Chain A
Amino acid sequence: MAGAAGPGTGPGAAGGDGDDSLYPIAVLIDELRNEDVQLRLNSIKKLSTIALALGVERTRTELLPFLTDTIYDEDEVLLALAEQLGNFTGLVGGPDFAHCLLPPLESLATVEETVVRDKAVESLRQISQEHTPIALEAHFVPLVKRLASGDWFTSRTSACGLFSVCYPRASNAVKAEIRQHFRSLCSDDTPMVRRAAASKLGEFAKVLELDSVKSEIVPLFTNLASDEQDSVRLLAVEACVSIAQLLSQEDLEALVMPTLRQAAEDKSWRVRYMVADKFSELQKAVGPKITLNDLIPAFQNLLKDCEAEVRAAAAHKVKELCENLPPEGRETIIMNQILPFIKELVSDTNQHVKSALASVIMGLSTILGKENTIEHLLPLFLAQLKDECPEVRLNIISNLDCVNEVIGIRQLSQSLLPAIVELAEDAKWRVRLAIIEYMPLLAGQLGVQFFDEKLNSLCMAWLVDHVYAIREAATNNLMKLVKKFGTEWAQNTIVPKVLVMASDPNYLHRMTTLFCINALSEACGQEITTKQMLPIVLKMAGDQVANVRFNVAKSLQKIGPILDTDALQEEVKPVLQKLGQDEDVDVKYFAQEALSAVAQRLRKLDSPAKDGEEPSAPGADKNHFLRPGGPGEDTGKAHRERAARVVSEEAVEAARFRGTDAAKGPAYQLHVNTRDTLAQLEIAELVHFSQSRD
């Protein structure tokens, strides 16, 4: 192999030699032995670099023995090592040398810590594929056998995960041995090992010959399924899925079903829970006939189990179970054998059961069709919409789309509205958050008119919620609504209300205006942004709360791309320059960020028309950034003065408006341009209260 590589890689090899002498293994090993765990960990994570520096041969002869010998370290380091070694085949010289990696991984597979062991097993499985069949029998299989007969339970546990990867490629004699080892682990003394064996039973069964499955795996399965420890029995249920797939209906009935029936009625709820949890898989594995004869009755029992955990797990599977029934006769089976039990669950005493059911029950409507849905399911939906537990209601609402397809949402809207309103005002903010997320969907299904009448006020109320996450979600919600209903709708219903909040006494609400503008500006387009939103943002630059001011800067940066040159040059820039002089460092920082973004954009837009402005504007910018006290300051001041003038002009204008508007127009019109504090206060109160009264 060295000969083959030689001619093509002369210079590289020479370089490698030189490097080797540069990095004696001692130095590298020193790094791996460093006292500081973090440094050791870092070194291990770059183990491939070290191996690369050493070259394949020294990696094999020096690095790997060192690693094998010094496996007594923090589990975190060992975990990293186990992971690294899985991808090391190339670094030790390719598949021919893959077996060199086995000794360190074998040690790692025996340590106590489960995550390390699991990772070592994972790496071993990976490497096993790189072994040639001969190497596999010469090196890998012996390792598996050693682990399987190890003293301490950890090595035997690890062995369980390795049988299935070496079995298919082994010779017949070796296969028999492997099976023998697996058998003995299944009846190991230690429950930990039996659990490991049980969890790999299905995987192992899949690689076995059918005869061996019947003669060996099935008895093992039966034993594990009647283990004294429920933690073992429940794992056998999982294996049942894989085993069932391998057997014919007859064999299934004779060999597996007695055990499965017994598991479904196990005295431990954990085992019954597992049966419920794996129900769909089991159903598919045993086929329709056994499902009808055995599984449906078992399922009925699980649905009325004495433990809520089991009922909830079964309730989760209702829809899948029904979907997977054979189409002919499905409706009858559901109506006669499933639905009566579901009806009981709707008024279960445990909320988890109800909410599990609520998360799938709507899916039945597509299976049962319009008439059955209206007659049998609708009453259940309506009952669940009135359930005392918010999660149940929420789950119903979040699956409305299924029903919508079958019977249309109108059937439900009468009951829907109170449920939505109640959830919208639920004391738990997570519930409120969840319902907000369904608003765009609901809006789409209920239509703009219904929305404006019943739901709009809710959406606005969320903007002044006391939890930030809700306000944030409400903001995004508005954006999605605007996308759905269009800009005209936005201009008439949303924007005015949002802008009014700019003068709310609560600074958090004022910030919400900014966040809304950030979210809405793009959906609303240049016209609305420039004419209605920008003035408000600019006005807020004078806010007394620094958080508001720096959010103004952020907003200006955000909406900058939507504005045209004039607005940027004439209005945005001066304000930002003023904010750039703010006494608060954060405001300054964000203003400068925004300024440079704006300046960049201006430069791009203005390249033809920059003549007049050019010397002053960008120049001023630069000065401003680099030397805040320098000549730039003059410009800054000038701008500031101009801004002040604009402000006072607007105030006058606003004052003029006030008298007339209060009487005639809607409050928001007046509000758009207001600068007057007093007016602002009055209106803030007005709007604030009228909203909350809604």
Chain B
Amino acid sequence: MSSSSPPVGAASAAISASEKVDGFTRKSVRKAQRQKRSQGSSQFRSQGSQAELHPLPQLKDATSNEQQELFCQKLQQCCILFDFMDSVSDLKSKEIKRATLNELVEYVSTNRGVIVESAYSDIVKMISANIFRTLPPSDNPDFDPEEDEPTLEASWPHIQLVYEFFLRFLESPDFQPSIAKRYIDQKFVQQLLELFDSEDPRERDFLKTVLHRIYGKFLGLRAFIRKQINNIFLRFIYETEHFNGVAELLEILGSIINGFALPLKAEHKQFLMKVLIPMHTAKGLALFHAQLAYCVVQFLEKDTTLTEPVIRGLLKFWPKTCSQKEVMFLGEIEEILDVIEPTQFKKIEEPLFKQISKCVSSSHFQVAERALYFWNNEYILSLIEENIDKILPIMFGSLYKISKEHWNPTIVALVYNVLKTLMEMNGKLFDDLTGSYKAERQREKKKELEREELWKKLEELKLKKALEKQNSAYNMHSILSNTSDE
């Protein structure tokens, strides 16, 4: 009755209000600033001031005797690095190096017979000098790859050409792994793998192709590469939870798994169960889930007996609170069910459908919806029909309950359809379950009460024993010597 708060005087305050309240509106502004960020690598300190580059003659103008010598000179010239964070320094030299790199790319891809044995050492040296570097600290510690723009590599104008050159080199018909393996060894690969943590997606893309070629051409490095990827993943899962190149590495693995010989080695199965499955627990699953699910399904297509442990593994790591991840898990389960063998299905139907029944009754409608979509899949439907006696009792309770209680009308409609389908599969069982539904609920409630009762009694017992302990002056050993063994 007293103050009738009219819109007074607030105008001037309102302006400063929008300035002062930092909130979600400003995120776009902050992001806009960040978008163009780039970063140098952490290596310049060792270099000191470098000599200025002087342009060398063009390779195509040299005589064929001189060409090889000149090629090596150019490779050596390209080993010199420049600071791209300082955009005005060494402009001339930077341009010379860029032109030279371009020329080198051109040279190895259009000419035959230029990759001679003596050149390998200089080639690998030049590549190593340019791409191997300590990655700088991320300048956004809580970098969210889904939300934030990545920090780009500042020296990309040069590095890109080096990668380009590296690829042409690996793909050249003249390239001989038997010679290259002296230079492209375990240490080299190790450093290459570490670069997958680069925040720059362009670089990771190149790395992916490069590593794929190396895996293809260097048979002696394959086991080593797999093991190192293994270590990277384990560190990612259990130690740091941070590695930018997980999706790229998984993509390569997808094609590696595809090529595994049968029967699968124990090492590969271990990789599946101890690395790929736990990887589902990662916070940033959304970033690489497609590639991960592809790898898992590849394994199952190779060896169907892995189905049961894989599904049990997924059920163990089923997301508890993250609905977005739950939807991804359901997607992966559907992919697995698409290729499952009926005998395997029988082995896991019970635990699996218990989980599905929980998902169906999730109050998050996307989770419920995703689970209910299983009933649109012909193959899954046929599996359910074959095993309706097992599955219907598991699903019935939740479906019945949601059909009455779920807040979202779409879900309720979907559930009605599912119930109808199930009823058509086995009408008698359906009627029985409908009939016993209430009794079942009551039985559950009773069990619940019994449990409470049990624990109450146990509690009392504990108190009693504690009391006894206080009273017993003889034996202060422990609570238990009181009640012990006779």
The finding on whether chains A and B are genuine partners in a shared complex, rather than unrelated, reads yes
Q: Are A429 and B22 in contact, CB atoms less than 8 angstroms apart? A: yes
A93 is contacted by which of B4, B457, B480 (Cβ under 8 Å)? Answer: B480
Known: A8-B472, A230-B134, A692-B12. A542 touches B481 (CB 8 A): no
A677 and B17 alpha carbons, distance in the complex (Å): 26
- List 9 A-B residue pairs with CB atoms under 8 Å apart, sorted by A's residue number: A9-B482, A49-B458, A505-B9, A506-B5, A507-B3, A510-B3, A544-B3, A680-B2, A684-B9
How far is the CB of B315 from the nearest CB of chain A, in Å? 10
The answer to the question of A408 belonging to the interface, with a C-beta cut-off of 8 Å to chain B, is: no
What 1/0 flags go to B6-49 for Cβ under 8 Å of A? 11111011001101111000000000000000000011111000
- For B42, B43, B454, the residue with the greatest tally of chain A CB atoms inside 10 Å of its CB is B42
Known: A6-B486, A12-B472, A114-B238. A269 touches B481 (CB 8 A): no
- For B8, B458, B481, the residue with the greatest tally of chain A CB atoms inside 10 Å of its CB is B481
The answer to the question of A287 belonging to the interface, with a C-beta cut-off of 8 Å to chain B, is: no
The answer to the question of B1 belonging to the interface, with a C-beta cut-off of 8 Å to chain A, is: yes
Q: Are A49 and B459 in contact, CB atoms less than 8 angstroms apart? A: yes
A334 and B383 alpha carbons, distance in the complex (Å): 79
Q: Are A23 and B458 in contact, CB atoms less than 8 angstroms apart? A: yes
Give the 9 A-B CB pairs with smallest separation, nearest first.
A16-B483, A8-B474, A90-B478, A12-B482, A57-B485, A5-B481, A466-B17, A306-B45, A56-B480
Can you name 12 extra interface pairs (CB under 8 A) apart from A2-B486, A542-B2, A680-B3?
A4-B475, A9-B482, A49-B459, A55-B480, A91-B479, A93-B478, A93-B484, A228-B190, A306-B42, A505-B3, A540-B2, A545-B5
Known: A8-B475, A46-B458. A677 touches B468 (CB 8 A): no
Which residues of A sit under 8 angstroms from B1, Cβ to Cβ? 542, 544
Number of interface residues of B (CB under 8 A): 63
B462 is contacted by which of A9, A52, A505, A544 (Cβ under 8 Å)? Answer: A52
The answer to the question of A638 belonging to the interface, with a C-beta cut-off of 8 Å to chain B, is: no
B484 is contacted by which of A2, A53, A112, A267 (Cβ under 8 Å)? Answer: A2
Q: Are B483 and A12 in contact, CB atoms less than 8 angstroms apart? A: yes
What 1/0 flags go to A1-30 for Cβ under 8 Å of B? 110111111001101110100110001000
A49 and B46 alpha carbons, distance in the complex (Å): 63
What 1/0 flags go to B73-108 for Cβ under 8 Å of A? 000000000000000000000000000000000000
How far is the CB of B153 from the nearest CB of chain A, in Å? 16
Q: Are A677 and B3 in contact, CB atoms less than 8 angstroms apart? A: yes
Closest chain B residue, CB of each to CB of A60? B485
Q: Are B474 and A15 in contact, CB atoms less than 8 angstroms apart? A: no
A266 and B16 alpha carbons, distance in the complex (Å): 49
Q: Are A5 and B238 in contact, CB atoms less than 8 angstroms apart? A: no
Q: Are A13 and B136 in contact, CB atoms less than 8 angstroms apart? A: no
The answer to the question of B231 belonging to the interface, with a C-beta cut-off of 8 Å to chain A, is: yes
Q: Interface residues of A: mostly helix, strand, loop or mixed?
A: helix
Known: A12-B465, A544-B3. A192 touches B239 (CB 8 A): yes
The answer to the question of B346 belonging to the interface, with a C-beta cut-off of 8 Å to chain A, is: no
A305 and B4 alpha carbons, distance in the complex (Å): 62
How far is the CB of A645 from the nearest CB of chain B, in Å? 14
Known: A74-B316, A539-B2, A544-B1. A688 touches B451 (CB 8 A): no
- For A8, A17, A51, the residue with the greatest tally of chain B CB atoms inside 10 Å of its CB is A8
Q: Are A267 and B134 in contact, CB atoms less than 8 angstroms apart? A: yes
Q: Are A91 and B480 in contact, CB atoms less than 8 angstroms apart? A: yes
Q: Are A5 and B477 in contact, CB atoms less than 8 angstroms apart? A: yes
The answer to the question of A450 belonging to the interface, with a C-beta cut-off of 8 Å to chain B, is: no
What 1/0 flags go to A522-544 for Cβ under 8 Å of B? 00000000000000000110111
How far is the CB of A42 from the nearest CB of chain B, in Å? 8
Which residues of A sit under 8 angstroms from B9, Cβ to Cβ? 505, 684-685, 688-689
How far is the CB of A427 from the nearest CB of chain B, in Å? 6
How far is the CB of A309 from the nearest CB of chain B, in Å? 5
A545 and B2 alpha carbons, distance in the complex (Å): 10
The answer to the question of B57 belonging to the interface, with a C-beta cut-off of 8 Å to chain A, is: no
The answer to the question of B274 belonging to the interface, with a C-beta cut-off of 8 Å to chain A, is: yes
A15 and B467 alpha carbons, distance in the complex (Å): 13
The answer to the question of B259 belonging to the interface, with a C-beta cut-off of 8 Å to chain A, is: no
The answer to the question of A631 belonging to the interface, with a C-beta cut-off of 8 Å to chain B, is: no
How far is the CB of B26 from the nearest CB of chain A, in Å? 9
B461 is contacted by which of A52, A91, A677 (Cβ under 8 Å)? Answer: A52
Q: Are A9 and B458 in contact, CB atoms less than 8 angstroms apart? A: no
Q: Are B8 and A684 in contact, CB atoms less than 8 angstroms apart? A: yes
Which residues of B sit under 8 angstroms from A413, Cβ to Cβ? none
Which residues of B sit under 8 angstroms from A90, Cβ to Cβ? 478-480
How far is the CB of B142 from the nearest CB of chain A, in Å? 14
A427 is contacted by which of B22, B234, B239, B474 (Cβ under 8 Å)? Answer: B22
Q: Are A677 and B472 in contact, CB atoms less than 8 angstroms apart? A: no
Closest chain B residue, CB of each to CB of A48? B462
Which residues of B sit under 8 angstroms from A53, Cβ to Cβ? 458, 461-462
Which residues of A sit under 8 angstroms from B6, Cβ to Cβ? 505, 681
A432 and B485 alpha carbons, distance in the complex (Å): 66
What 1/0 flags go to A291-324 for Cβ under 8 Å of B? 0000000000000011111000000000000000
How far is the CB of B369 from the nearest CB of chain A, in Å? 24
Q: Interface residues of B: mostly helix, strand, loop or mixed?
A: helix
A689 and B44 alpha carbons, distance in the complex (Å): 56
Known: A191-B235, A677-B2. A685 touches B461 (CB 8 A): no
Closest chain B residue, CB of each to CB of A688? B9
Q: Are A544 and B17 in contact, CB atoms less than 8 angstroms apart? A: no
B454 is contacted by which of A31, A56, A307, A503 (Cβ under 8 Å)? Answer: A31
How far is the CB of B295 from the nearest CB of chain A, in Å? 18
Which residues of B sit under 8 angstroms from A267, Cβ to Cβ? 42-43, 46, 134
The answer to the question of A50 belonging to the interface, with a C-beta cut-off of 8 Å to chain B, is: yes
The answer to the question of A571 belonging to the interface, with a C-beta cut-off of 8 Å to chain B, is: no
A195 and B468 alpha carbons, distance in the complex (Å): 49
Known: A228-B190, A467-B20. A55 touches B483 (CB 8 A): yes
Which residues of B sit under 8 angstroms from A305, Cβ to Cβ? 45
A149 and B44 alpha carbons, distance in the complex (Å): 42
A650 and B156 alpha carbons, distance in the complex (Å): 77
How far is the CB of B455 from the nearest CB of chain A, in Å? 7
Which residues of B sit under 8 angstroms from A432, Cβ to Cβ? 20
Which residues of B sit under 8 angstroms from A507, Cβ to Cβ? 3, 5
Known: A269-B137, A544-B3, A677-B3. A13 touches B484 (CB 8 A): yes
A308 and B46 alpha carbons, distance in the complex (Å): 16
Q: Are A428 and B22 in contact, CB atoms less than 8 angstroms apart? A: yes
What 1/0 flags go to A129-153 for Cβ under 8 Å of B? 0000000000000000000000011
A269 is contacted by which of B17, B21, B136, B461 (Cβ under 8 Å)? Answer: B136
Which residues of A sit under 8 angstroms from B235, Cβ to Cβ? 191-192, 231
The answer to the question of B269 belonging to the interface, with a C-beta cut-off of 8 Å to chain A, is: no
A466 and B5 alpha carbons, distance in the complex (Å): 17
Known: A90-B479, A427-B20, A675-B2. A464 touches B13 (CB 8 A): yes
B274 is contacted by which of A12, A15, A112, A427 (Cβ under 8 Å)? Answer: A112
A542 and B4 alpha carbons, distance in the complex (Å): 11
Closest chain A residue, CB of each to CB of B466? A52
Closest chain A residue, CB of each to CB of B8? A505
Known: A8-B472, A22-B457, A465-B20. A13 touches B483 (CB 8 A): yes
The answer to the question of A401 belonging to the interface, with a C-beta cut-off of 8 Å to chain B, is: no
Q: Are A52 and B484 in contact, CB atoms less than 8 angstroms apart? A: no
Q: Are A269 and B44 in contact, CB atoms less than 8 angstroms apart? A: no
The answer to the question of A630 belonging to the interface, with a C-beta cut-off of 8 Å to chain B, is: no
The answer to the question of A184 belonging to the interface, with a C-beta cut-off of 8 Å to chain B, is: no
The answer to the question of A268 belonging to the interface, with a C-beta cut-off of 8 Å to chain B, is: yes
Which residues of B sit under 8 angstroms from A27, Cβ to Cβ? 454
Which residues of A sit under 8 angstroms from B477, Cβ to Cβ? 5, 94
Closest chain A residue, CB of each to CB of B19? A427
A9 is contacted by which of B4, B5, B190, B481 (Cβ under 8 Å)? Answer: B481
A506 and B14 alpha carbons, distance in the complex (Å): 12
The answer to the question of B278 belonging to the interface, with a C-beta cut-off of 8 Å to chain A, is: yes
Known: A5-B475, A74-B316, A677-B4. A506 touches B480 (CB 8 A): no
- For B3, B238, B316, B465, the residue with the greatest tally of chain A CB atoms inside 10 Å of its CB is B3
The answer to the question of A347 belonging to the interface, with a C-beta cut-off of 8 Å to chain B, is: no
What 1/0 flags go to A488-527 for Cβ under 8 Å of B? 0000000000000001011100100000000000000000
